[in-house]
Each structure stands twice: as structure tokens, then as C-alpha cells.
A and B are shown apart, each in its own frame.
With several copies, the nearest count.
Chain A
Amino acid sequence: MDWSALTLSLELAAWTTAILIPVGVLIGRTLALRKFMARSLVEALIALPLVLPPTVLGFYLLVAFGGASPLGKIYEALVGRPLVFSFQGLLLASLIFNLPFAVQPVQRAFESLPVQIREAAWCCGMTPWRTFRYIELPLVWTGMLSAIVLTFAHTLGEFGVVLMVGGNIPGETQTIAIAIYDRVQALQEQQAALMSAILLGFSFVMIGFIYYLSDRTRRNHVR
């Protein structure tokens, strides 16, 4: 079992989720509450990363982030090392790829928030931030939960983009998904099966626990 790959995957998934959920909340909330002309277009745009095969998306991201690209150049100038084939590059790709999963559920949750409740908060003198923090966030929590689970799980399993942008460097950009893939490719079925089982079991317990906790908090709210 390749523990370093699992750790790396979990790290990537955790970072992706941690960064993407706020972004998703921001974008989802804006799409839900502001009415603007191009809304349908922006919504469609966000779904687009899903449409390309991951490896191909990864290829284009590689081009976009690579040393020859403006982004890559700027990053390298600032940080001193290339963006691609690094954890940071992986993370960036992962963020782009998972955007739809973070935005959609949160947007729906904001859409189903009754207007009056926000109005009530304002009329009670609550600042927009307080309203957001204490009224809106708890009420869109289940939407965020979906976003968290989808993003987390999808990052764990993501392979095409990661392989392309990260370059499958053991200990650095080789995630568990790629490690399993390598084993399958090498026809090492037992090792692959073992790693898959561990990954599945781990994720199952983890996601189940997240759901359980959120269920309990929701029930606890009742008390």
C-alpha cells in the first residue's frame, strides 16, 4: 500500500475543498441572489470543465499553466519554481475542475432561502456580514454539505487532470488514484484491489461520518 499517495490525495482533496467551498458559496450566492442578464451563460460556463475529458482538460491546463504560458511565467517569476508538476499546480487544476460541484448545490440552497428571512435580518439591524454568517450560512448548510462531499470525493478519484498537470511524481504529485491506476496498468491486480479497497473503505467511513455529524448537528439544533 502506497501511504504517501493516499496522504497526498487526502491533502489535495482537503485543500481543494477548503478553498473551493468559500469560492462556491460566493459564486453560488451571487448567481442565486443577483439577477443579471448573462446569468444563464455564467452558469453554463461553470459547468464546462465537466464536459472535456479530464486528460484533455489536463492537457489544456498544462498548456495554460506551463512555463511557456503567461500564467506560468508570472508564477515562476514570483515563486521561483514552475507551477506545473507541483502540488500547487495540481491544486489549481483541481480547483478549476471541481468548480461545478462546489457552485451548483450551494447556488440551489441559496435560491431556496426565503426572501423574508433575509429581510427580517436586515430589519433587525444585522449587518450583511452577520446576516450571512448567522442566518444564511446555517440555512444553506446542507447545500454546502453536498458541495463538500462531491468535491472531496471527486478530487480523490480524479486522475486524468492530475496525471497530466502533476506528472505522476511519486511523493510529490502522485495521488492514490494514479497509484492505483499504475498498478492496474501493470496488471498487479491484487495490489490494485487492496489499494482500491482501502481507498473505498476510508472514503466510505469518512463521508459517512460527515453525513452522520451533520445529521446530528441538525438534530441538535432542535434542542
Chain B
Amino acid sequence: ASADVPIVAAATSLNPALNEVAELFRNRTGGAVRVSYGSSGNIARQIIHGAPFEVFLSADENLVLSLVDRSLTIDGGSVYAIGRLALFVPHGSSIQSDNELRDVKTAVSDGRLQRLAIANPQHAPYGRAARQLLEQVGVWDRIEDKLVLGESASQAAQFAVTGSVDAAIFSYSLTLSAVISQRGTVTLLPEQWHQPVRHRMVLLKGAGRTATAFFSFMQEPATRHILATYGFTGPGASR
């Protein structure tokens, strides 16, 4: 059965957007896929060790490129979305949100900001972006010891929704979930302050017809639309 129903490995951040895409794909083409979510790093490693995935939707472009280098893919794949960062300030926090992080800077100085959650810049793409952004704003040095690092952007968001941090910076797409929007204020941050978070997908060696079809389906306007409603803007000019 697995020959007919390819496994699509996708970054955790695509949940639940991708579920909706898969649903639409089934309705449109009659083809079914199974989605295996995980951190992009884990998925890449699993692919290296022979995981039976046919499509890889990564949150981290570099990981895809490293697979390409190892000739585990059919081609170089394509970027299916560009991620943005958002500032989330939970209700009850004394931080004022603004899209230039002015109050964050002040709060760092006057001690109001004790804990800021981001994803781990060591390996999470949104963590790297957050770090670039904070460096750009010029608070990185002062804020470094106030950081709470999530394994992924999603975990940074979890820190935020439990009210355990004063503010958090993670992917804009997550802020669209009901849980987040109900529990704090969300501010989209300028995209030029960090390198774009490019989400690249790729067809893996051995991908079958359904997988190829799904890969193309990912680039169709209907899909783009769904992704957009979940906060993933299309590649547009970036490609």
C-alpha cells in the first residue's frame, strides 16, 4: 500500500497547513499522501539513513541542499515559501509591542524583560533568523543571557503561550493559530532585518508518481493560497 501512498516528510511548522493541502490534493487528484512531521534536522538525518520518504518539505533550506550534495534527491528542489518572524507579547507582560522592537530594547535595559523565547539559533532556521534580527537591532549582546531556547520555533511558541516568558520571537505562521492570537499581541517584524527563511522542498530519490504529482501540486496557486492563509508567503521574486 505504501507504494501508492507516499510518505511526505515535513517540518513540524507545516502542521496543520500541510494537512489541509493533503486534503485538497486528495480531493483534486485522488492521490493520497501520508505526512510525517519532524524537525527538519531529524528528517534530513533519517533520509541519510534510508528513511522511506519521497518528498521532503524542509523549514531549513541548507538541509535540503546538503541532501542534494549527497545525491539523495532527484533535483535541487524548489522554495515553496518564505518565512517571516513575529514578535509575540503575552497578555500581562509589561512589554509594548512595536515592529522595531523599541520597547524590547528599553525593557532589556530597565530589566522588565527577563525572558525572551526564540528557537535555538544553533540549528533551527527561525532561531538563526531571530538572532540576525536581534543583532541587527543591536540588543543581541545584552539579551543573550535572557534567552530561552526552544528546540524549534514551535517550542518557543509553547513557552510563550504558557505565559512563562515576557516575549517571544518566532515564525509568523505560528502566530496565526488561535491559541497564540488569543493569548497575546502579535507584531510582524520587518523581513529585511534578517536573511529570508527559505523553505525548500525536494523530491527524493525513488519518488513515485503520486509523490511527483504532490510536489507539483505544492506549487499550484490553490496550495499557495492555503499556505498563505497559514502565514507562509510565497517565494515570489526570491526564487
Asked if residues B35 and A170 are in contact (CB atoms below 8 Å), the reply is yes
A178 to chain B, nearest CB (A): 9
A33 to chain B, nearest CB (A): 40
Over the window 88-123 of chain B, the binary record of Cβ atoms lying under 8 Å from chain A Cβ atoms (1 yes, 0 no) is 000010000000000000000000001101001011
User: Within 8 Å CB of A85, what residues of B?
Assistant: 46, 50-52, 115, 148, 164-165
A84 and B36 contact, Cβ closer than 8 Å, known pairs A167-B159, A184-B158, A187-B158: no
Measured in the bound complex, the distance between the Cα atoms of B159 and A88 in whole Å is 17
A66 and B147 contact, Cβ closer than 8 Å, known pairs A85-B115, A167-B159, A185-B152: no
Asked if residues A63 and B49 are in contact (CB atoms below 8 Å), the reply is yes
Find residues 141-178 in chain A having any chain B CB closer than 8 Å to their own CB.
163-164, 167-172, 174
| Interface of A, helix, strand, loop or mixed by DSSP | loop
Asked if A67 is at the interface (CB within 8 A of a chain B CB), the reply is: yes
Asked if B196 is at the interface (CB within 8 A of a chain A CB), the reply is: no
Asked if residues A187 and B159 are in contact (CB atoms below 8 Å), the reply is no
User: Within 8 Å CB of A188, what residues of B?
Assistant: 16, 177
Asked if A68 is at the interface (CB within 8 A of a chain B CB), the reply is: yes
A-B contact count (CB 8 A): 145
Asked if B174 is at the interface (CB within 8 A of a chain A CB), the reply is: yes
A81 to chain B, nearest CB (A): 8
Asked if A182 is at the interface (CB within 8 A of a chain B CB), the reply is: yes
Which residue of B16, B92, B149, B180 contacts A168 across the interface (Cβ within 8 Å)? B149
Asked if residues B50 and A163 are in contact (CB atoms below 8 Å), the reply is no
B51 to chain A, nearest CB (A): 5
Which residue of B9, B46, B92 contacts A62 across the interface (Cβ within 8 Å)? B46
Asked if residues A163 and B41 are in contact (CB atoms below 8 Å), the reply is no
A187 and B161 contact, Cβ closer than 8 Å, known pairs A85-B115, A164-B155, A169-B147: yes
A69 to chain B, nearest CB (A): 8
Measured in the bound complex, the distance between the Cα atoms of B38 and A182 in whole Å is 8
Asked if residues A59 and B15 are in contact (CB atoms below 8 Å), the reply is no
Measured in the bound complex, the distance between the Cα atoms of B11 and A168 in whole Å is 12
Q: Which residue of A lies closest to B49 (CB)?
A: A66
Over the window 83-99 of chain A, the binary record of Cβ atoms lying under 8 Å from chain B Cβ atoms (1 yes, 0 no) is 01100000000000000
Name 7 A/B residue pairs within 8 A (Cβ), A-sorted. Answer: A67-B163, A84-B51, A85-B50, A168-B151, A169-B52, A184-B41, A186-B177
Which 10 residue pairs spanning A and B have beta carbons closest together?
A167-B148, A66-B49, A185-B123, A68-B163, A186-B15, A67-B50, A168-B149, A186-B123, A66-B164, A168-B36
Chain B positions near chain A (C-beta within 8 angstroms) = 2, 7, 9, 12, 15-16, 34-39, 41-42, 45-46, 49-53, 66, 92, 114-115, 117, 120, 122-124, 145, 147-152, 154-155, 157-159, 161-165, 174, 177, 179-180
